Structure 1
Amino acid sequence: MGRRDFFGVLGAAAGAAAFTPAAASDGDAPRTKKGAVVRAAFVYPPSATFAGDPDGWWSWPGNEFDAEGRQRRYTAALREIERTYGMEIAVEDRPIATKEDAERLAREIAAAPPDGVLLVMFYNQSLGLADLILRAADEAKVPALFYIGLGVKHGPVGSYRRPGLVFMQSLDNFESLEEGLRLIHARAALRQSLLLSITEAETPREGVEPFLGIRVRVIPFARYAELFHAIAVDAAVRRVVDRFVAGAKDVRGVTREALDNAARAHEALTRLLREEHADGLTMNCLRRGMLKPCISFAALNGSLVPAACENDLPAAYTQILGQTLTGRPGFQHNPCYETERNHYYASHCTCAPQLHGPEGPPRPYLLRRFAHTNEGSCAIQVFWNPGEPVTMVRYYPGEEPALDVYAGRVVASHPMPPAAGCTTNVEIELTDRTDAGMVAGHHNLLFCGDFARRFRRFAQLHRMRLADTGFQGVWPA
Structure 2
Amino acid sequence: MVVWVLRGCLVYLASPIHQQEYVSWLRYTFKTFLLHAGVSVKDRGLATSPEEAARLVEGCNYVVAVVATGGSEELILSVVKAARGAPVLIVAQPYANSLPAALEAYPLLRGGNTALVFLDSLDPSSVGAVRKLRSAVAGLRGAAKLRSARIGLIGEPSPWLVYSRTTLEKLRERLGAILVRIEMEELYELMDRAEPSEELVERIYHGAAAVDVPRGRVPNALRVYLALRSIVEKHRLDAVTVECFRLIKERGTTACLALSLLNSEGVVAGCEADVPSTVTMLLLHTVSAGPVFMGNPSIVKGDKLMIAHCTAPIAMGRRYTLHSHFESGLGVGISIQLEPGTRVTIARFDPEFRVLRVGRGVVEESGLLSRLHCRTQLWIRLDGNAERIVEESIGNHYVVALGDHVDALRAAASILGSSLDIL
Per the TM superposition, whether the score is higher than 0.5 is yes
- Match for 1:403: what amino acid? L
Corresponding residue for residue 262 of structure 2: 300
- Match for 1:378: what amino acid? V
Structure 1 residue 301, shift from structure 2 partner: 0.4
- Match for 1:251: what amino acid? V
Structure 1 residue 220, shift from structure 2 partner: 0.7
Corresponding residue for residue 62 of structure 2: none
SS state at 1:277 partner: coil
Moved more, 69-78 or 117-126: 117-126
Alignment of 1:154-303 (within 5 A): 173-199=129-155, 208-232=171-195, 236-252=196-212, 254-289=213-248, 290-303=252-265
* Residue in structure 2 matching 1:115, options 87, 94, 104: 87
SS state at 2:261 partner: helix
Q: 1:121 to 1:413 in 2, by over 3 A?
A: closer
Corresponding residue for residue 376 of structure 2: 424
- Match for 2:181: what amino acid? V
Q: 1:462 to 1:90 in 2, by over 3 A?
A: farther
Corresponding residue for residue 5 of structure 1: none
Q: 1:215 to 1:150 in 2, by over 3 A?
A: same
SS state at 2:385 partner: coil
For the 8 Å contact 2:94–2:120, the answer to whether it is kept is yes
Moved more, 380-389 or 31-40: 31-40
Alignment of 1:48-67 (within 5 A): none
The answer on 1:384 being equivalent to 2:330 is no
For the 8 Å contact 1:78–1:89, the answer to whether it is kept is no
SS state at 1:387 partner: coil
1:332-355 deviation line (CA, Å, top 9, x unaligned)? 11122254x752111111100222
Q: 1:414 to 1:300 in 2, by over 3 A?
A: closer
Moved more, 39-48 or 328-337: 39-48
- Match for 1:384: what amino acid? L
SS state at 1:410 partner: strand
- Match for 1:372: what amino acid? E
SS state at 2:204 partner: helix
Corresponding residue for residue 366 of structure 1: 321
Structure 1 residue 313, shift from structure 2 partner: 0.5
Structure 1 residue 370, shift from structure 2 partner: 1.4
Structure 1 residue 124, shift from structure 2 partner: 6.5
Inter-partner Cα distance in structure 1 for 2:382 and 2:69: 47
Structure 1 residue 258, shift from structure 2 partner: 0.8
For the 8 Å contact 2:117–2:136, the answer to whether it is kept is no
Inter-partner Cα distance in structure 2 for 1:171 and 1:421: 41
SS state at 1:216 partner: strand
Q: 1:432 to 1:281 in 2, by over 3 A?
A: same
The answer on 1:408 being equivalent to 2:361 is yes
SS state at 1:385 partner: coil
Structure 1 residue 291, shift from structure 2 partner: 3.6
Inter-partner Cα distance in structure 2 for 1:411 and 1:44: 56
For the 8 Å contact 1:183–1:458, the answer to whether it is kept is yes
Identity over the aligned pairs, expressed in percent?
21
SS state at 2:339 partner: coil
Corresponding residue for residue 314 of structure 2: 353
TM-score w.r.t. length of structure 1: 0.71
SS state at 2:137 partner: helix
Inter-partner Cα distance in structure 2 for 1:452 and 1:31: 26
* Residue in structure 2 matching 1:35, options 7, 28, 50: 7
Inter-partner Cα distance in structure 1 for 2:20 and 2:235: 58
- Match for 2:258: what amino acid? S
Q: 1:387 to 1:172 in 2, by over 3 A?
A: closer
The answer on 1:446 being equivalent to 2:417 is no
The answer on 1:149 being equivalent to 2:104 is no
Alignment of 1:58-97 (within 5 A): 69-78=25-34, 84=40, 87-92=41-46, 97=69
1:158-198 deviation line (CA, Å, top 9, x unaligned)? xxxxxxxxxxxx77833422322222222222222212111
For the 8 Å contact 2:295–2:398, the answer to whether it is kept is yes
* Residue in structure 2 matching 1:457, options 411, 414, 417: 411
1:259-281 deviation line (CA, Å, top 9, x unaligned)? 11012111111122222222221
Inter-partner Cα distance in structure 2 for 1:276 and 1:463: 28
Q: 1:88 to 1:171 in 2, by over 3 A?
A: same
Corresponding residue for residue 61 of structure 2: none
Q: 1:115 to 1:413 in 2, by over 3 A?
A: closer
- Match for 2:179: what amino acid? V
SS state at 1:311 partner: coil
Paired residues, what number? Answer: 387
Cα-Cα RMSD: 3.5
Structure 1 residue 249, shift from structure 2 partner: 0.2
Structure 1 residue 116, shift from structure 2 partner: 0.9
Inter-partner Cα distance in structure 2 for 1:41 and 1:148: 16
For the 8 Å contact 2:87–2:415, the answer to whether it is kept is no
Inter-partner Cα distance in structure 2 for 1:88 and 1:271: 32
For the 8 Å contact 1:42–1:119, the answer to whether it is kept is no
- Match for 2:377: what amino acid? N
Corresponding residue for residue 101 of structure 2: 129
- Match for 1:238: what amino acid? E
Inter-partner Cα distance in structure 1 for 2:92 and 2:365: 44
Structure 1 residue 146, shift from structure 2 partner: 3.8
Q: 1:420 to 1:35 in 2, by over 3 A?
A: same
Corresponding residue for residue 59 of structure 2: none
